[in-house]
A and B are shown apart, each in its own frame.
Chain A
Amino acid sequence: MKPQENFTPPPTEIEKAENEIVPKSPEVVIPAEISNEELKQYATVVETHIEKQATEMLPEAERRIESSARSMNVSPKTMGAVRQEQGLDAQLNEIQAEASQLANEARLDIEKVTAHENTGQVEHGTESEPERVSLTEINKLIESVSADLYDDKITDEQFLEKYDKPRGEARNDLKELITRREKEFIQTEFLRINPKAEVISEERGIYAIVLPNGEKLYGSIYSIIDAHENLGQIAPLAQEIQSGQKAETRSLMGIRTREGEGYKSIIVASGSFAQREINPYPADLDFSEHLDIQAEGKAEAAEILASLVSETVKQTADNPDLEFKELKCGIYPDDAPEAVRGKAIKWTKEETVSGEKILRDTKTGQEYKITLARASENPGMVKIDWLSVQDGDLKELTKVINVKASDRDGREIFNNRQKQSAFQEVYFGDTTEFGLTEMLRDPEVLKEYTDFLKKDVKKYSDPNHANYLKAAKRSYNLLKISGDIEGARSLAALFNSSTSELASRTETLSLLGSYLGESGKFDLARFDGQLDKMSALVASDKALFGEQEQGDIQQKLASVKEQLFRETLGRAEIQQIINELVPIFKEKFNVSAQKYLEGNKAFQNLSLE
């Protein structure tokens, strides 16, 4: 075999033609026959060469600038001022990101070529020829082995007999297969369709999109593929509702891991709210917070959780765009009144702030008192709901707290974390220390998520629970995680349509209707624009609304709008008009989504078994 130094990249015909613009590659000696090992070495040298060119982009620029500045005798102060004035750092970062992305793409292209290098050696007959496995085959394999792996009815012996390997080994094989599907079918698509895409760590499954100012949004491949740079705009809001200290800056950079006495936290965008790339009309704003607590024991951990929740609610009370609705935290314990025992505990603002809830047992007439700290010992799902005014629309804003409490030796005290949530979370910073993306390669987590999606698609496609837009959203995620990005994107056209906009606007209208029944802090005139937008949508969509219908609906919307200012009608009457409109809209978008799904091949071919 030729030594490695002989495998430096050769000038090609294309390079010769492009000699004027492309720097020359190092010289090479071309061997007559090429073994797998030699090909591999050659690929590594080429990869390293391209990567070196890319990583040198920024340092080389800095060296040249520094050298010129020195010869001009420029002071650091002047240098800094001109840098800022010219936006030099942002521009250079953009170029560096572009080059890093090119290096990534090159590496992937090379990997594609070398992935099956053994097939080149068939004439020697000494190495086996691996089959190129299709996505369908990979999916079938993952699905069938996972089903048996986590089937309690199949004993370890039976499993061993069927697969010729123990469960633990099969689990590792599956993990590898899931990672392979992620890289070959989803990552490749992500890099192809999104010019801002970047691979942060293949090993840990962390990806990013680069924003125009050089900042990044991070996520697993499943979430980042749907993230859009406009998520960066919600940075101030995200900081406002994160546990811990008040927001420091209004940029994305301000969102970071917050650390305090015994805890650290990160805030992330989640659910379809985090899928702005494919869904520009999310009905609400969903956030998740990952909270790691370290304490002596359960009581101390619960104290920390309770105080963080209470602080967050206090902290947001003065925000003119936020209004607290409800906190869910804890499960009524065995000493609670029988009627509520085992149910989730709901807290009002006053109860959350005081840290105490009192209720009367209707059966015995006795008073029952529970503190937020005690409830936090068995937190269940912790969720804070606010109402929020965003661009003149009334929206629900939710923060789910995924909390993991451990003692100083790392032993878990309690953990309410939904591992599968990372499939739909977009991070505002590098979340490596929370290890969220790696979990998604766990076959059990993937199976749980797949089962949940399939169940929901069945449920929402059933005429008794018909919600076809929801069925479409779940189907989209199902297709995406199984690597069928093309099929998924064919469904996504529905989310970027007037049907989806109508669904989102109906949600906000319905919310406004409910709000009229409460004595909230928002001035009703703020929702003027919300009604205008609904009215414009109705007027513009002739496919969804007939001419006569358009006129009737617009008249009703105009009357709601007028009454919001004058309030000559009582609030109940305005509510009545909204309540009449909402079911009409719901019927419209549901029928429209159903029709869309009937004509969508990817949805029709979806296997839900």
Chain B
Amino acid sequence: MINKNAQKKKEIEDILAKYMAKIFISKKKRDAIISSFLGALKEKRLDEIRQSLKQL
């Protein structure tokens, strides 16, 4: 008789690898959203600074 729990543990390891890969992709997407947002925020801030400089 073999200990089937070792096999089950291996299956759980595979599940972990699979979902960590998927979550990693989600994180990449999130990071892209953050970058794009921060880019827009930076632009807006620069605009504000330019406006202030003009008024000076």
Q: Which residues of A contact B (CB under 8 A)?
A: 9-10, 12, 14-15, 18, 21-23, 25, 33-36, 38-39, 42-43, 46, 49-50, 53-54, 57, 61, 64-65, 68-69, 72-74, 78-79, 81-83, 85-86, 88, 91-92, 95, 98-99, 102-103, 105-106, 109-110, 113-114, 117, 119-123
Interface 1/0 per residue, B1-33 and A, CB below 8 Å: 111111111111111111111111111011001
Residue in chain B with minimal CB distance to A122:
B1
- A14–B18 contact, CB under 8 A? yes
- A50–B34 contact, CB under 8 A? no
Could you list 9 A-B pairs, sorted by A, with CB under 8 Å? A21-B21, A21-B25, A42-B12, A57-B26, A74-B44, A106-B19, A109-B15, A110-B12, A120-B7
Residues of B within 8 A of A9 (CB): 12-13, 16
Residues of A within 8 A of B4 (CB): 119-120, 122
Residue in chain B with minimal CB distance to A53:
B23
Our pick among A12, A43, A121 for the contact of B17 (Cβ within 8 Å) is A12
CA distance A95 to B42 in the complex (A): 23
- A22–B15 contact, CB under 8 A? no
CA distance A86 to B43 in the complex (A): 13
- A78–B22 contact, CB under 8 A? no
Take A12-B13, A106-B15 as given contacts and tell me if A73 and B5 are in contact as well, using a CB distance cutoff of 8 Å.
no
Our pick among A23, A34, A61, A79 for the contact of B3 (Cβ within 8 Å) is A34
Our pick among B9, B24, B33, B45 for the contact of A21 (Cβ within 8 Å) is B24
Our pick among A22, A43, A49, A86 for the contact of B37 (Cβ within 8 Å) is A86
- A95–B23 contact, CB under 8 A? no
Kindly list 14 other residue pairs between chains A and B, CB separation below 8 angstroms, not including A95-B33, A110-B12.
A9-B13, A15-B16, A33-B6, A34-B6, A42-B12, A46-B12, A54-B23, A74-B41, A74-B44, A79-B41, A102-B19, A103-B19, A120-B3, A121-B3
Cβ distance B3 to chain A, nearest Cβ, rounded Å: 6
Take A64-B34, A65-B38 as given contacts and tell me if A121 and B5 are in contact as well, using a CB distance cutoff of 8 Å.
yes
Cβ distance A92 to chain B, nearest Cβ, rounded Å: 6
Residues of A within 8 A of B36 (CB): 86
- B44–A82 contact, CB under 8 A? yes
- A102–B3 contact, CB under 8 A? no
CA distance A46 to B17 in the complex (A): 10
Cβ distance A67 to chain B, nearest Cβ, rounded Å: 10
- A34–B17 contact, CB under 8 A? no
- B17–A72 contact, CB under 8 A? no
Take A15-B20, A23-B20, A57-B30 as given contacts and tell me if A78 and B3 are in contact as well, using a CB distance cutoff of 8 Å.
no
Residues of A within 8 A of B41 (CB): 68-69, 72, 74, 78-79, 82
CA distance A122 to B21 in the complex (A): 34
Which size bracket describes the interface of B in this complex? 35 or more
Cβ distance A76 to chain B, nearest Cβ, rounded Å: 12
Residues of B within 8 A of A106 (CB): 15-16, 18-19
Cβ distance A236 to chain B, nearest Cβ, rounded Å: 30
CA distance A36 to B5 in the complex (A): 7
CA distance A9 to B20 in the complex (A): 11
- B8–A65 contact, CB under 8 A? no
Our pick among A10, A18, A23, A83 for the contact of B13 (Cβ within 8 Å) is A10
Our pick among A18, A49, A86 for the contact of B21 (Cβ within 8 Å) is A18
- B20–A72 contact, CB under 8 A? no
Residues of A within 8 A of B44 (CB): 74, 78, 81-82
- A95–B30 contact, CB under 8 A? yes
Residue in chain B with minimal CB distance to A99:
B26
- A113–B11 contact, CB under 8 A? yes
Residues of B within 8 A of A25 (CB): 16, 20
- B9–A42 contact, CB under 8 A? yes
Residues of A within 8 A of B16 (CB): 9, 12, 15, 25, 46, 49-50, 106
Residues of A within 8 A of B8 (CB): 34, 39, 113-114, 117, 120
Residues of B within 8 A of A92 (CB): 30, 33
Residues of A within 8 A of B27 (CB): 57
Residue in chain A with minimal CB distance to B19:
A106
Residue in chain A with minimal CB distance to B29:
A95
CA distance A211 to B36 in the complex (A): 23
- B26–A95 contact, CB under 8 A? yes
CA distance A25 to B6 in the complex (A): 19
Cβ distance A345 to chain B, nearest Cβ, rounded Å: 56
- B20–A50 contact, CB under 8 A? yes
Residue in chain A with minimal CB distance to B1:
A123
Residues of B within 8 A of A69 (CB): 41
- A88–B13 contact, CB under 8 A? no
- B5–A105 contact, CB under 8 A? no
- A61–B9 contact, CB under 8 A? no
